[in-house]
Chain A
Amino acid sequence: MAAASSANLDLTLDVWRQASPDERGGFQRYEMAGMSPDMSFLELLDQLNDRLEREGKEPIAFDHDCREGICGSCGFLINGHAHGPQSGITSCQLHLRSFRSGDHLVVEPWRSSSLPVIKDLVVDRSAFDRIIQAGGFISANTGSAPDANALPVSRTKAELAMDAAACIGCGACVATCKNASAMLFTAAKASQLALLPQGQPERHQRAVRMVEAMDDAGFGNCTNERECEGNCPKQISFSHIARLNRDYIAGKLRAVT
């Protein structure tokens, strides 16, 4: 897949079509001829949708917004890889020059019962919001803050916290985990806050609440497969999961829930 194409490409797409949450979906084949290598993957779907709309057919529904890899809206499995074959990018950042003419691409939504399909490639990720609502924050009411420089934070810690905070909540980690665990997502937020002095007072309680919300939402357990890390478009490190586990156990031991 690495060879860059500079000529236009002909691609065959098998795209998951599913009209509604309760309907059984299936793959539909579309031939896309003469696509520019400068096109992004979402622009390829735009081209296909343009054709379908002209024919009076329903276009493929997919979530997207920023189209630059930061909002976390887009995300599909492309030939079984979350966000496609390249690492460190989202589906919207994938360009056709990383494919070859003649390639056959199978495009499907995230597969997890905790992220159910609503239509075509659109899934319901509200379980992620519920995990954050359970404790993924520092309780600091507006107006209650001391001067920003009153509490120095070592640069190393701040940088590590920023690494974790880069999570975009797209769902690729869940989609690529054989247990459909949301541990990387949950750990990224918990770890960001656990690394900062501001996050200490609620640290253990936060870990317990977030993990319980994750369990309540039906996500599976983490069994250290590490598929999530390799498929994360922001390359969030698996080591955050260890930090969350430690905090969770500490929280449970203190029975502060």
Chain B
Amino acid sequence: MAIELRSGVPDGAMAEKWSRHQFELKLVNPANKRRYSVIVVGSGLAGASAAASLAELGYGVSCFCIHDSPRRAHSIAAQGGINAAKNYPNDGDSVHRLFYDTVKGGDYRAREANVHRLAEISNSIIDQCVAQGVPFAREYSGLLDNRSFGGAQVSRTFYARGQTGQQLLLGAYGALSRQVGLGNVALHTRHEMLELVLIDGAARGIVTRNLATGAIDAHVADAVVLATGGYGNVYFLSTNAKQSNVTATWRAHRNGALFANPCFVQIHPTCIPVSGSHQSKLTLMSESLRNDGRVWVPRDQGDSRPPAEIPDAERNYYLEERYPSFGNLVPRDVASRAAKAVCDDGFGVGATGQAVFLDFRDAQARMGRPAVEQKYGNLFQMYEQITGENGYQTPMRIFPAVHYTMGGLWVDYNLQSTVPGLFVIGEANFSDHGANRLGASALMQGLADGYFVLPYTIGGYLAEATLPPADGSHAACGDAVRTATGRLERLLAVGGSTPVDDLHRELGQVMWDHAGMSRNATHLGAAKDAVRVLRERFWREVGVPGAQAGINQPLERAGRLADFLEFGELLIDDALHRNESCGSHFREEHQTDDNEALRNDDEYAYVAAWEYRGEDTAAALHREPLEFIEVKPSVRSYK
């Protein structure tokens, strides 16, 4: 297949591209919108906001999610906040600064025009959410409060206690529910998308399994929107919710949608460490903790004294020493790698040696315990609930964990994938964060895509596409249903005795050890072989009890793992091919003398978009060159 990646970025000055494009997009006549139907897969921030907004415009919308209610999507767990360029604190923020910070933070691997649009739209998102009744934190004046987040130099983050994602999602869920109540959205909960339906080369539908009954059905529409989140669970242990998966995007990839930058995976530095082999997921603690907590390890390997008894001179505050100007507030990728390095060198603490201290002793001395409690009380409680330890009395133990995936299906400026009529929004696309996402920017992107970008751009597509009438009786639906059913039957028929999760843990370990925070060609090569072996073993050894009908959770997990086992190899291929270090992607072969990431703009300033060519054939690489006109690439330095 000859694929030409056309980003479709409009001409003109950066600040005018989006408004100009909105004007140039063909409009669907209001009376005609009713005649168009759109399938939205996913009900997180991106999916719920898109489904609601499309229905408000008059399109006929069907919305699908795997949860029992749209409100339970993984977005609900976001804690810290959402960015916007409001500049309410008058501290020098602007659309341009948010744009600049995001391009730089992404280590110059994002598409400038998309990022600029994101920054432009950020303010409307806050307006929209407030109008919906999202209870953001406020000052005594009654006006909105902002905080600085993730080391940003300005205070641009809006938040609702430690539950920002929950409140934003409930706002979008309210808007979606209103449209369901009005009969404009058909809601399908407990439905998992297993296949994409293509008719005449365009995305026209999906095949789903009803997770409560087991029924397999085809659904047809004029366009399909994927808002199915990220693929962090390829590592098994991550901060993502347990049901987060790659299945929807992977099935679309197998049907022709290119997958971009899969190796860009964000590892978050402040998570609660693994406590034992029973560990099923990891819990993030807000990185706001790094504003006042100090990160350290003992200077002596194996120092087993209680931390409070280790004098300052024998503590290594390694972030403060190595990065004097940013200290504990260095970006996520830098903080995570530094923690791994000290643990690899044998200085890690706790029973597993895979942890570093985050200490509030000095903060309590400086601010007093009540002030620390007021600021972080809920996080200390959460820490105690999980570990049984009191973080005021003894330093917390933290370790990095997989958190967010910058890679995803390739999309153009209209958020359309390489399959016509297939749009991808939220964490599921590769869009705006380059090689590293800044804190509080994912919520912004999900809602920008869903409320303010997709509802326009999809109209442009529908107004111009010629789509033959089709329904569930179309041959393409039958084929897709057979593919989906065949796979489920195969999974049930393996008849082994190894539980799905055991194999998933093994995959996760391989990915974490060899394609995690620090990578090199030898390890990646070994990981690729290991993943292949594991994939073969999966299809011989896995045991999926029960039947196709009714709730069958092992069957759900097995289907998702089968896709992760294919996807994992692509992630590794991408990491192997990218012979540079950038953002979250650290290749040990490419570092400066003092172990900082060494980017290679001459050879790798592009988006790597992979084309599927069969289970045993290597994926083909397509490149979208990136141009930096407004923000000239420089070395990210936090020294």
**B550 touching A119, Cβ below 8 Å:** yes
Asked if residues A142 and B181 are in contact (CB atoms below 8 Å), the reply is: no
Contact of B276 among A38, A71, A124, A126 (CB under 8 A): A38
Known: A39-B276, A67-B242. A169 touches B499 (CB 8 A): no
Whether, in the assembled complex, A205 has its beta carbon less than 8 Å from a beta carbon of chain B, the answer is: no
In the complex, the answer to whether B143 meets A57 with C-beta atoms within 8 Å is no
Quick check: B131 and A54 within 8 Å, CB to CB? Answer: no
Q: In the complex, what distance in Å separates the CA atom of A123 from the CA atom of B577? A: 47
Q: Within the assembled complex, what's the spacing in Å between the Cα atoms of A134 and B183?
A: 11
Interface residue tally on B, bucketed by range: 35 or more
B493 on the A face (CB < 8 A)? no
Binary interface profile of A, 170-202, with partner B (CB < 8 Å = 1, else 0)? 000000000000000000000011001011000
Are B241 and A46 closer than 8 Å at their CB atoms? Answer: no
CA distance A193 to B137 in the complex (A): 15
Tell me whether A148 and B133 are in contact in the complex, defined as CB-CB below 8 angstroms, given that A58-B545, A65-B74, A133-B177 are known contacts: no
* CB–CB B499/A149 < 8 A: no
Contact assessment for B276 and A54 in the assembled complex, using a CB-CB cutoff below 8 Å: no
CB neighbours (8 Å) of B281 from chain A are 67
The answer to whether A162 and B127 touch across the interface, beta carbons within 8 angstroms, is no
B546 with A58: CB separation less than 8 A = yes
Please state if A126 and B189 are interface contacts (CB–CB under 8 Å): yes
Asked whether A67 and B126 contact (CB < 8 A) given A36-B276, A142-B53, the answer is no
Q: Which residues 64-89 of B sit at the A interface, judged by CB distance below 8 A?
A: 67-72, 74, 76-77, 86, 88
**A50 with B388: in contact, given A68-B283, A70-B163 (CB under 8 Å)?**
no
Write out the residue numbers on chain B whose beta carbons fall within 8 Å of the beta carbon of A53: 497, 499-500, 543, 545, 554
| Stretch in A106-114, A150-158, A223-231, A245-253 with 4+ CB within 8 Å of B | A150-158
CB of A1 within 8 Å of the partner chain: no
B114-167 residues with Cβ-Cβ distance < 8 A to A are 124, 126-133, 135-144, 160-161, 163, 166-167
Q: How many residues of A contact B (CB 8 A)?
A: 80
A89 within 8 A of B: yes
Query: Which applies to chain A's interface (DSSP): helix, strand, loop or mixed?
Result: loop
Asked if A70 contacts B77 (CB within 8 A), the reply is: yes
Q: B490 interface residue, CB < 8 Å from A?
A: no
Q: Which residue of B lies closest to A194 (CB)?
A: B133
Residue B178 at the chain A interface, CB threshold 8 Å: yes
- Interchain CB contact (< 8 A) of A142 among B74, B126, B455, B551: B455
Taking a contact as CB atoms closer than 8 A, the residue among B77, B141, B501 that contacts A152 in the complex is: B141
* Interface membership of A165, Cβ < 8 A: yes
Contact A152 B127 (CB under 8 A): no
Which residues on A sit within 8 Å (CB–CB) of B166? Answer: 70, 165-166, 168
Indicate whether B280 reaches chain A with its CB closer than 8 angstroms. yes
Interface presence of B212 (CB below 8 A) = yes
**Complex contact A169–B551 (CB within 8 A):** no
- In the bound complex, do residue B128 and residue A142 qualify as a contact, i.e. CB atoms below 8 Å apart? yes
A133 lies within 8 A of B127 (CB)? no
Verify A95–B142 contact, CB threshold 8 A: no
Q: Count chain B CB atoms within 10 A of each CB in A134, A161, A165 and give the residue with the most.
A: A165
Take A36-B275, A50-B499, A70-B163 as given contacts and tell me if A169 and B69 are in contact as well, using a CB distance cutoff of 8 Å.
yes
Given contacts A58-B546, A132-B174, is CB(A148)–CB(B130) below 8 Å? yes
> Given that A67-B241, A142-B52, A142-B451 are known contacts, is A95 also in contact with B278, CB under 8 Å in the complex?
no
- In this assembly, does B56 line the interface, its C-beta being within 8 Å of a C-beta of chain A? yes
Contact of B177 among A93, A122, A129, A158 (CB under 8 A): A129
- Closest B residue by C-beta to A169: B71
Quick one: given A39-B278, A196-B135, are A63 and B388 in contact (CB under 8 Å)?
Answer: no
A212 within 8 Å of B (CB atoms): no
Assembled-state Cα–Cα distance A196/B131 (Å): 10
Contact partners of A50 in chain B: CB under 8 A: 499, 501-502
Does B163 lie within 8 Å of A146, measured CB to CB? Answer: no
Q: Is the CB of A162 within 8 A of B135?
A: yes
**Residues of chain A with a CB closer than 8 A to B67's CB:** 65, 71, 73
Nearest residue, chain B, Cβ from A56: B545
A158 touches B137 (CB 8 A): yes
By the criterion CB–CB under 8 Å, are B170 and A165 in contact? yes
Q: Is B553 part of the contact surface with A, judged by Cβ < 8 Å?
A: yes
- The chain A residues found within 8 Å of chain B, CB to CB, are 4, 6, 19-20, 36-40, 42-43, 46-47, 49-50, 52-54, 56-59, 61, 63-68, 70-73, 89, 93, 95, 97, 118-119, 122, 124-126, 128-129, 132-149, 151-155, 158, 161-162, 165-166, 168-169, 192-193, 196, 198-199
